[in-house]
Amino acid sequence: MAHATRPAPRFATWLIEGADSPINKALSNPASLGYGADLVGFGGGQPAVESYPLEALERAYASAIREAGRQVLPYGGTQGLPALRELIAERLLRRGIQADPANIVILTGSVQGLHLVGRITLDRGDTIVTEAPTFMGALAAWEPQQPRYVSIPVDEHGLVVDLLAERLRDGDVRAKFLYLLPTFQNPSGVSLSRERRQHLLEVVREHDLLVIEDDPYGEFWFDDGTERIQPLRALPGSEEHVVYVGTFSKILAPGIRLAYAVASPQIVDAMLRTKRGVDFHTDTLLQEAVVRLVRDSEFDLESHVQAGRALYKERRDAMLDALETTFEPETKWTRPAGGFFLWVDLPSGTSAEAVATRGLELGVSVLPGFLFYPNLDGGANGLRLSFSSVTPARVREGIQRLRRAVDSIGE
């Protein structure tokens, strides 16, 4: 393997430690630093900064503090405000998920949901099944238990469920849970097909496997019909086996840490017991502000999300066009029907890591694919590109820089 001689880094050292680094700050917000002021940022996974509903958020906080401050500023319940859980249940219904508010846990960001499920299921050295590639940032949630990762490939229809079924049937995989992002996946942008979702549910029920369905991008579909691919958790019979994790990070803003899990009563109880020792409860003022934001008659969350779909679709289209006109057929890429990311496979033998490093010098940031393989055993010529936070004109410029980076490392 290309990476066999590299000492195995702690998970996502680049990706995660990068959050505090000048490079990552530049990725997120190029203009904020002298460094990288001209960088085109395809590296991060930030929602578009211009989409934040600032005025509505200001009204929501003001009314939460003024009208409900003395009710929501004391210590609160660990599960979260009932009004927020009811609102989440209503919104989930539109995506086909029937969830009792009693089975919803308010989280301080999605990663907390992953952390809590890990905390209640994993012993040291246990096995987790993931997609390959998968969102490496998530794996930090389980790092302290030093799990073993079994990864199952993703193709253009998502996780290859047949292969998972085979390995479970052969008995060579005994996992505590399967972690996946079935919809507009991070990093590949692909979605698990409807047929495979049904098959996956049969497999996990047969083998009594717990599933974490991480769904940060599921509301951002771009094309006719894709909205009708419902989450795994919407399938009848999924209730016991699927922990669904959703978030407000992508539809509102990620700096406020607010997400939620839907799970069976047993899992909910165990998550709550653990959450008490993690942060006791999620910021109740934030919870109240989001309830008020969604109920605000001057703000329509559904129109806001719809505007996000249009914005990200335009950026995806710009990126697909630019790739088409800039790269030859031996370079391949996915055509995501939603979300924030697409995946590029450079011609075999091209070092994506070298391209990513050279790209930074040439003013474009991308993440090398090997970062998204839990055992660092794939993605040598792959790149994750995020189109979510870059305007179409800049997308074209960035793809041209990427082409120059690819060309220059071949020299």
In the complex, which residues of this chain contact a second copy (CB under 8 A)? 10, 16-17, 19-20, 25, 28-29, 32, 44-47, 49-50, 52, 54, 57-58, 61-62, 65-66, 69-79, 108-109, 111-112, 114-115, 119-120, 124, 137, 139-144, 253-257, 272-274, 276-286
Q: Quick one: 41 or 158, whose CB is closer to a second copy? A: 41
3-state secondary structure 328-385: CCCCEECCCCECCEEEEECCCCCCHHHHHHHHHHHCEECEEHHHHCCCCCCCCCEEEE
Give exposure, 203-222, as e/b (b: 16+ Cβ within 10 Å).
bbeebebbbbbbbbbbbbbb
The whole-angstrom separation of Cα 343 and Cα 323 is: 11
Rounded to a whole number of angstroms, the minimum distance from the CB of residue 391 to a second copy is 15
Q: Quick one: 111 or 395, whose CB is closer to a second copy? A: 111
H/E stretch holding 88: helix 82-93
Q: Of 127, 126, 122, 198, which is closest to residue 159 (Cα–Cα)?
A: 198
Q: Quick one: 253 or 362, whose CB is closer to a second copy? A: 253
User: Contact, 190 vs 142, CB < 8 A?
Assistant: no
Q: Quick one: 57 or 92, whose CB is closer to a second copy? A: 57
Helices marked H in 241-344: 265-276, 284-295, 301-326
Q: What are the E-state strand segments in 89-232? A: 104-107, 127-132, 148-155, 158-159, 175-180, 210-214
Rounded to a whole number of angstroms, the minimum distance from the CB of residue 36 to a second copy is 15
User: Contact, 26 vs 35, CB < 8 A?
Assistant: yes
Rounded to a whole number of angstroms, the minimum distance from the CB of residue 134 to a second copy is 15
Rounded to a whole number of angstroms, the minimum distance from the CB of residue 124 to a second copy is 8
Rounded to a whole number of angstroms, the minimum distance from the CB of residue 236 to a second copy is 30
Q: Quick one: 17 or 206, whose CB is closer to a second copy? A: 17
- Tokens describing residue 76: 């609160």
Q: Quick one: 36 or 76, whose CB is closer to a second copy? A: 76
Residue with tokens 């899992």: 267
Q: Quick one: 77 or 237, whose CB is closer to a second copy? A: 77
Rounded to a whole number of angstroms, the minimum distance from the CB of residue 274 to a second copy is 6
Q: Quick one: 9 or 410, whose CB is closer to a second copy? A: 9
Give exposure, 175-201, as e/b (b: 16+ Cβ within 10 Å).
bbbbbbbbbbbbbbbbbbbeebbebbb
Cβ-proximal residues to 306 (8 Å cutoff; 6+ apart), any chain:
none
Q: Quick one: 82 or 96, whose CB is closer to a second copy? A: 82
Rounded to a whole number of angstroms, the minimum distance from the CB of residue 143 to a second copy is 6
Q: Is 95 helix (H, G, I), strand (E, B) or coil?
A: coil
Rounded to a whole number of angstroms, the minimum distance from the CB of residue 154 to a second copy is 23
Rounded to a whole number of angstroms, the minimum distance from the CB of residue 66 to a second copy is 6
Helices marked H in 211-300: 265-276, 284-295
